[in-house]
Amino acid sequence: MKKIRFLILLLAIPGLSFIGIAQEVEEHSCSSFMLKSDSILIAGHNLDKGKHAHGVVVVNKRGVQKQCKSWTELAYNKSVPNPPMEWTSKYGSVTFNRFCRDFPDGGMNEAGLFIAEMSLAGTTWPVDDSKPKIFMCLWMQYVLDSFESIEQVVQSAHDLTIEGWSWHFFAADCNGNAAVIEFLDEKVVVYKGDDLPIPTLANVPYAKELELIKKYEGFGGTKIIDLENDQMPVFNYGAKMIKEFDPLKSPAIDYGFDMLKKFSWSGTQWSYVCDLKNLKVYFKTQPSPEIKTLDFTSLDFSCETPAKMLDIHAFLSGPVEQYLFDYSTEYNMGSIKTTFLVSNYEEVFVKFGSTLEQAVSNFGRYSDSTKCILIN
């Protein structure tokens, strides 16, 4: 039940009508949730992959000017007809990145905004050459750089042409609002407010999850959601555990990791929980299962000092601020090259007229093209 097989969609070079497929791969059920009660507000995420997932934790700075780039530009070194866009980061953030700096898989900013991705077979992105085009990982960084509310996140999904493969997104803010953003039939599909009664997400369209859970006790039906049954849909676990959360019986962070463990399978590569009110992140990985923490109050988000990084699998525990190291181009390029090689991306780049070396350079040196803009 937790394992799905589908085709990752990678966008072809301009001028081809077929958006193309790169390769058939096995993906697994990443998952996210939001949990709130009185003063408690946390969000969490699992990254599930069949193979080891290299990754870095990045402390991103406020006041950094960046440029919009699409997958087509970064991976294939081809221009796009879309208008350019620049922005300057308003908020600092901590992100968890499979690629390299500025291309996160998810994270939280200092305004208490959280975003994460999950695979969703059947994703089809809107196409509009009149809007700036942005690669989906860079879009998540743009979101964390720029916004504090899910309303702003949702609006940006309409204002930009997002480009990538089969993902949908879960976002939450420090006011306890959450949103699911999907891209189906080349349209932006959003669930928030009353349309998002259960703030959790896995790898099935949210509307279908809501329909299916109506068969279960506590949600309109008579079937039992058995937390000991490993064949239950992940969404059902999340729905039941959110409903049953009692902060007097379970510390919120511990309960959040219990939820992620229930969502998990043997291929979970990393898990993290973000405290959206107290601005602290907790994370652990398959190779390094001790919980590590980063407290925003101990981090320097000024762009006058170097961005900081940490191997996500570092064998550490507890506070890890002292182990952060300065960003370097060499480390960044090594990170992206490792991910591309493990994921067999090289044949994709060659197929569309690029090379592994060119793509590594484009991604790995992207952060070098950004610049610090002092903000009063």
Q: What backbone torsions phi and psi does residue 218 show, to the nearest 5 degrees?
A: 95, -10
Q: What three-state secondary structure class fits 298?
A: helix
122: left (phi over 0), alpha (psi -120 to 50) or beta: left
Q: H or E element: which one contains 310?
A: strand 308-311
CB atoms inside a 10 Å sphere around CB 368: 12
Residue 362 is predicted with a pLDDT of 97
Helices 252-263 and 234-244 cross at an angle (nearest 10°) of 160
pLDDT of amino acid 375: 62
Q: How many Å from the N-terminal Cα to the C-terminal Cα in the chain? A: 52
* Predicted local distance difference test score (pLDDT) of residue 206: 97
> How, if at all, do strands 21-28 and 3-9 pair?
antiparallel
> What DSSP designation does 367 have?
G
Q: What is the pLDDT of residue 374?
A: 74
Cα atoms in the Cβ-side hemisphere of radius 13 Å centred on 32: 28
Closest by CA to 107, choosing from 69, 174, 58, 38, is 58
Edge-to-edge order in the sheet of strand 86-88:
86-88, 64-67, 371-372
pLDDT at 49: 80
Dihedral pair phi/psi, residue 10, rounded to 5°: -120, 140
Strands 161-163 and 133-135: parallel
Q: pTM of the entire structure? A: 0.91
The CATH-assigned architecture of domain 3-372 is 4-Layer Sandwich (3.60)
pLDDT of the chain, 376 residues: tens digit per residue: 344 333 333 433 333 322 333 332 334 568 999 999 988 999 999 998 877 888 999 999 999 999 999 999 999 999 999 999 999 999 999 999 999 999 999 999 999 999 999 999 999 999 999 999 999 999 999 999 999 999 999 999 999 999 998 999 999 999 999 999 999 999 999 999 999 999 999 999 999 999 999 999 999 999 999 888 878 888 999 999 999 999 999 999 999 999 999 988 768 899 999 999 999 999 999 999 999 999 999 999 999 999 999 999 999 999 999 999 999 999 999 999 999 998 889 999 999 999 999 999 999 999 999 999 976 5
The pair of structure tokens assigned to 186 is 């080349």
